[in-house]
Structure 1
């Protein structure tokens, strides 16, 4: 990975409303970044102190704050190439003794907070378990865990459909509306240590879906149309996610992400913290999930994910409920990233 500083270029034409919507999320990041528990607190303290003193009345003030206080770096991913004549743009890395290709874009997907009906007891139609972590975490793959009954007794609660429980695992959190009328949150607790595998890619490989048809909605529709093959489908992903129960708390707030703050719809994104610093603001250039039109937004890195791997891999949080599910299911496009860091701070110092 390489960071390329951009000097003298204006910030992208982002709508004032989007700048303003990002401000509360940035202040939430500052709570974590300026915390005494953050070992890199000193790099963020001054800019976060200035942010706390600003009460913006419009998006222009937010844009000007970032322009004054932050340096901007284009994020480039490097891939080793065996072919010396390869194009596009290449760079020579004497330290590694190999030719590498620079990528300026990566995959941008979406995620959401599912809202499911559920029960604390196994009673029809709630017959599919969602599990808490066992005292000793298993390492077997999903198919073996299901067939062996190793997870029996670890049922946290029950939902209607296996594919919905699976999507809950993929999203990493969710809300459950219980039969007694109360609601709770489920948060990620652990996993079985197996790699994540895309069931959408498996459906494409099987000829069940075309590559451009793959979406959360399409996978659900396929599962409901082929109920006898649902277990076969889900077993293609060997990873099993375990959950812990949390109180609902503020019903208007999003789930808590890896940074330890509530996620903001349309602003919070999940990143790979090996390459981008958690808490940092980013400029994201991608395509709108509905229209495919070019889209530029200010977002904030506040979460991580098992499938989010690589310097340019972004997962965009869209909120909770049916509309957020639809948007996130259609968010699948290439995108490029600019990292915003406090003036004079090298990006590598934040990792």
Structure 2
């Protein structure tokens, strides 16, 4: 793995979570249907129930396609595959549960998704000109505004899918566990009783007849007899820790095969930075807390590695997934596989999941334009506010280098079905 400096880069990721610790839109951990592998089926409009509207905090200003900076220059690579997968998510049955993140209104998307089926465009090899023509015919751009009615310019960060080296057995250098969801982990949806707490969930466990907070990372490590099932043993504690920060990743096994360790749940504890812990202990200045320096410190202080890891009480639990299409990343909060440089995490208080967006920002650490159509398919603990966006770079070291350096300013337009009015949520 390439060494990425933290000072204005991964320091932000190790000191404050990005698109991590999010719950996919599923009934229970580990039960995510792989709808990307299924054909797009669009039900009749009357078969899609009308559920109560979910309020959005921002407002929208209708604009023309010519108002989108660089729209004609976007190559639209992988856009049609992402768009079709997005329709698969939109056309799923609607639960109306306030415990779920706000999603784009399915009924207004039904005609567009039906037209996509009839278009004859191939998700694997769609013609750019035809895709652009379809989008312009079917969709209307709306600029996202903040509560004051001003363009919602905000921070754009990046995340990616890392690679770790792991074994299914604890042996040799493979000593650092990544756990499956514990059988005693409880998840309580507060929004089902208190609508004002929609989307808020409490993790815990039973202690007699009481629900108490679930174990911290330190408590899990200190109780081998009660530890969850281990999916894989990683050869480096810092790499294993960083995979948890990202929330998902791929693991290369000793025989060269790959497995995906996808986010399944977490212990409900707040995140804390190991970089800040090292600085507070006087082990290294915060500005020097790069991944390479943290790994070097861990090698020099093997007896204190667990102490360092325990500084973060949060623990992410995983599920194993097969890698069928290397172009597809892990599933985001919308339970749709992310596509590198075509998927983003958003604040669903302003932009509902399943919305196509046009993002205007710049490449990491530069003024070079980064202007492209993306899909709102994920959320994140630190992704809050109008226009706040986390850009998914894809898999591997190069994607990690870009993600680690990205802290740009950006503007957002939501692309919404024509004749449907301003964007709405359910």
Same fold (TM over 0.5): yes
Q: How does 1:79-118 map to 2 (within 5 A)?
A: 104-118=152-166
Query: 1:22 — aligned with what?
Result: 79
Q: How does 1:38-187 map to 2 (within 5 A)?
A: 40-54=105-119, 55=121, 58-78=127-147, 104-137=152-185, 139-149=214-224, 152-187=227-262
Contact 2:63-2:143 at 8 Å conserved across structures: no
Q: State the 1:339 CA deviation.
A: 1.2
Confirm whether residue 338 of structure 1 aligns to residue 413 of structure 2.
yes
Which TM-score applies when normalising by structure 1? Answer: 0.80
How has the CA–CA distance of structure 1 residues 264 and 337 changed in structure 2, closer, same or farther, with 3 Å as cutoff? Answer: same
Structure 2: give runs of 5+ residues left out of the alignment.
Answer: 1-56, 97-104, 186-203, 205-213
Structure 1's unaligned 5+ residue stretches are 79-89, 92-101
Alignment partners' CA distance in 2, 1:281 and 1:201 = 37
Residue 63 of structure 2 corresponds to which residue in structure 1? Answer: 7
Query: Is 1:295 matched with 2:370?
Result: yes
CA distance in structure 1 between the aligned counterparts of 2:232 and 2:356, rounded to whole angstroms: 37
* Kept after mapping to 2: 8 A contact 1:278/1:303: yes
Equivalents in 2 of 1:201, 1:72: separation in Å? 42
How many residues were matched structurally?
A: 324
Aligned-pair CA distance for 1:283? 1.0
Whole-angstrom distance in 2 between the partners of 1:144 and 1:51: 51
Q: CA deviation at 1:16?
A: 4.3
Q: CA 1:59–1:151 in 2, change beyond 3 Å: closer, same or farther?
A: farther
Please say which of residues 265-274 and 48-57 is displaced more in the overlay: 48-57
Deviation at 1:326, TM superposition (A): 1.4
Give SS of 2:325's match.
coil
Distance 2:277 2:224 in 1: 25
Q: Is the 8 A contact 1:110 1:327 kept in 2?
A: yes
Tell me, yes or no, if structure 1 residue 329 matches structure 2 residue 404.
yes
1:271 aligns with 2:346: yes
Q: After superposition, what is the alpha-carbon deviation per residue over 1:285-317, rounded to whole angstroms, capped at 9, x for unaligned?
A: 212025342322111112233443333222211
Once the two structures are TM-superposed, the CA of residue 272 in structure 1 deviates from its matched residue by 2.8
Q: 1:159-238 maps to which residues of 2 (within 5 A)?
A: 159-199=234-274, 208-210=285-287, 219-227=290-298, 228=301, 230-231=305-306, 233-238=308-313
| SS of structure 1 residue aligned to 2:221 | helix
- Cα separation, 1, equivalents of 2:224 and 2:350: 39
CA drift of 1:203 comes to 6.8
Work out the CA distance in 2 between the residues paired with 1:286 and 1:203.
33
- Between the aligned partners of 2:155 and 2:277, the Cα distance in structure 1 is 18
Aligned CA distance change for structure 1 residues 233 and 342 (closer, same or farther; 3 Å): farther
Corresponding residue for residue 94 of structure 1: none
Map Cα deviations across residues 15-56 of structure 1 (whole Å, 9 max, x no partner): 545324322211210122123457642111111122233338
Q: RCO greater where, 1 or 2, for CA within 8 Å and sep 6 or more? A: 2
CA RMSD of aligned residues (A): 2.9
Contact 1:111 1:329 in 2 (8 A): yes
Match of 1:85? none
**Structure 1 residues 85-134: Cα deviation after superposition (integer angstroms, max 9, x where no partner):** xxxxx57xxxxxxxxxx672222221212222111111111111111111
Q: 2:357 aligns with which of 282, 286, 297?
A: 282
